[in-house]
Amino acid sequence: MKLKKLLFLVVTAGLISVSCQQEEIDNTTSNTEPVATENQDKISKEVLAKLKALNLNIEDVELSEFRLPDGTKQQSYIVEGDIAISAEQLDVMQPGNITTKQYRTYNLVSSPRNINIVGWTGTGYDQNLTQKQKDALQAAVDNYNDLEIGLSFTLEFSTNQSAADILIFQNPNGSAGGVAGFPSNGDPYGFVQIFSGMEQFSLGTNTHVITHEIGHTLGLRHTDWFTRESCGRPSFGELANPSGAVHIPGTPMRLDPESVMLSCFGLGESGEFGSNDIKALEYLY
């Protein structure tokens, strides 16, 4: 989720936005066209074709390795800035099994159920959540628990990784945003990384990013995945994407500036759900 993410920002001088995974803060007027990276050149045409068949936006796909708090490493393709998909997941996902307006995947979490979230707080670890991140995570979990859905959430701050349905920890890379993935086998995606560069932003913006990344673990797609309009790209004027995206009933057919699931976010986020985010989650769960 880049610093240009989540709520829609009008591109004007002085407005800053960040994507879920962006190396540095930039102005919304910059980087509006796809830019090939050295890392993206390593992505095979076969992988890109699979991602495209899943109705994923294949601009700027990267291959990334990250370290879990227990020291193990995982390698994933990073799609749309903040969605992690492993090679194993990609091999079993079929074009009919993932869809996304509000957008969702067919890979959802079994409901009703309780989901245990662990915020990592070890001693002497560079992946500990900061106090601001812990406060933001608590606020995000409270907001999810306020919804009238079949999912409930418990939160503990510990190093008890084995107890976590979703483990949330800091990635000390200095960037802004975070990374998560989609559910599988009825379970939420197990990890959310919050980048250490988020410390420079407000509690509301941190809450916004964490809420967004938890949304991915429950199966929500970016609201503007096909245009990435919230990142400063021009609108394609599409109502329902012809490649197979599925509209969640009751939510807008065009960009929703209040959605917590937009591709990019701005500096002054409140951390609260938009009304259509709530409709989407209540419909799905």
Residue 216 φ/ψ, nearest 5 degrees: -65, -40
The confidence band for 52, taking pLDDT boundaries of 50, 70 and 90, is confident
List pLDDT tens digits, range 17-43: 455 533 223 333 222 223 334 454 578
What is the identity of the amino acid at 272? E
Distance CA(135)–CA(124), nearest Å, equals: 20
Q: Exposure pattern of 159-191 as b/e (b: 16+ CB <10 Å)?
A: bebeebbbbbbbbeeebbbbbbbbbbeeebbbb
Top pLDDT among 56 and 31 is at 56
Percent over 70 (pLDDT), the chain: 74
Count of alpha carbons within 13 angstroms of residue 204, beta-carbon side: 10
- Residues 135-172: tens digit of each pLDDT: 999 999 999 999 999 999 999 999 999 999 999 999 99
Q: Going edge to edge, which strands form the sheet with 83-85?
A: 62-67, 73-79, 83-85
The pair of three-digit structure tokens given for residue 195, joined into one six-digit string? 């980048």
How much is the mean pLDDT over the chain? 78
| Residue 36 pLDDT | 36
CA atoms 182, 108, 217, 281: torsion sign: positive
Q: What percent of the chain has pLDDT over 90?
A: 39
Set out the domains of the chain in order of their start, with CATH numbers. 96-284 (3.40.390.10)
Return the minimum-mean-pLDDT range out of 51-65, 67-81, 86-100.
86-100
Residues 116/162, Cβ–Cβ less than 8 Å: no
Q: Residue 180 pLDDT > 70, yes or no?
A: yes
Residue with tokens 């099994």: 97
- Rounded (5°) CA angle 269-5-43: 155
Report the C-alpha gap between 154 and 164 in whole angstroms. Answer: 10
Average pLDDT for 251-258: 76
91 phi/psi in degrees, rounded to 5: -65, -30
